[in-house]
């Protein structure tokens, strides 16, 4: 018998965007978050925030906290094979989030929001410290998109920037 965790966590296969600030491996300035799904189908990320993400002395910047919560909710969608973008997010900053401390982020799908198109999805997330105290929480509405539409938008945006004036 091993002394490892009592629950098995499986890496979340989610089609990482390599340059993503939250989860991309190729973004040197990014968070490099790794998400897992546990035996209870919870989407989790265990992390310690580095000093470079400081806001108030010794604590995370509010924008980083928002990013962590947004990433967790996004991954909850991905676990359900939904690619979606954030439309609205509401955050409760309950307690300061310490740097260089063990943290857990959890994201989950709540339900589909009332939507004629069926493209809106509601998610929630929490950041907890090692004792389980909730430090921040969020709810969000995400709008489902296709990968093809994202690629078209990305290509169109690059085309406009790279055009020469006439």
What count of residues does the chain have? 166
Helix (H, G, I), strand (E, B) or coil at 89: strand
pLDDT grade for 33, boundaries at 50, 70 and 90? confident
Residue 98 CA to residue 31 CA, distance in Å, equals 15
Note the pLDDT of residue 15: 57
- Indicate the pLDDT class of residue 122, thresholds 50, 70 and 90: very high
Look up residue 114 and give its DSSP letter. Answer: S
Is the pLDDT score of 161 beyond 60?
A: no
Contact 71, 65 (CB under 8 A): no
β-sheet with 134-144: strand ranges across: 10-11, 36-37, 43-47, 103-111, 120-129, 134-144, 84-93
Cβ atoms of residues 102 and 79 within 8 Å: no
Query: What's the pLDDT score for residue 109?
Result: 87
- Tokens representing residue 122 in the block: 């509601």
| Domain extents in the chain | 10-160
Cβ–Cβ under 8 Å, residues 22 and 71? yes
Find the mean pLDDT for residues 76-97. Answer: 92
Helix (H) or strand (E) holding 71: helix 62-79
Q: Cα separation of 105 and 134, whole Å?
A: 10
Q: Give pLDDT, residue 133.
A: 98
**What does the longest C-alpha to C-alpha distance in the chain come to?**
71
pLDDT band at residue 6 under the 50/70/90 scheme? very low
Average pLDDT, the chain: 81
* Minimum mean pLDDT range among 12-16, 22-26, 49-53: 12-16
**Assessment of whether the complete model's pTM goes beyond 0.85:** no
Checking if the pLDDT of 108 tops 90, the result is yes
Q: CA-to-CA distance for 66 and 43, rounded, in angstroms?
A: 17
- Asked whether the predicted pLDDT for residue 162 surpasses 50, the reply is no
Superfamily per CATH, domain 10-160? Hotdog Thioesterase (3.10.129.10)
Higher pLDDT, residue 18 or 69: 69
Averaged over 160-166, what is the pLDDT?
A: 43
């Amino acid at each position: 018998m091993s002394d490892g965790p009592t629950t098995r966590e499986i890496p979340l296969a989610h089609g990482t965007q390599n340059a993503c600030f939250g989860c991309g491996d190729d973004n040197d300035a990014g968070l490099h978050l790794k998400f897992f799904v546990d035996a209870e189908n919870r989407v989790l990320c265990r992390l310690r925030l580095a000093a470079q993400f400081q806001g108030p002395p010794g604590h995370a910047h509010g924008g980083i906290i928002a990013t962590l919560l947004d990433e967790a909710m996004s991954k909850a969608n991905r676990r359900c094979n939904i690619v979606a973008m954030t439309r609205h997010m509401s955050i409760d900053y309950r307690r300061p989030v310490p740097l260089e401390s063990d943290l857990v982020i959890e994201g989950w799908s709540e339900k589909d929001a009332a939507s004629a198109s069926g493209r809106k999805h509601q998610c929630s997330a929490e950041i907890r410290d090692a004792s389980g105290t909730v430090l921040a929480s969020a709810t969000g509405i995400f709008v489902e998109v296709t990968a093809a539409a994202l690629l078209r938008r990305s290509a169109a945006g690059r085309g406009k920037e790279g055009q020469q004036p006439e």
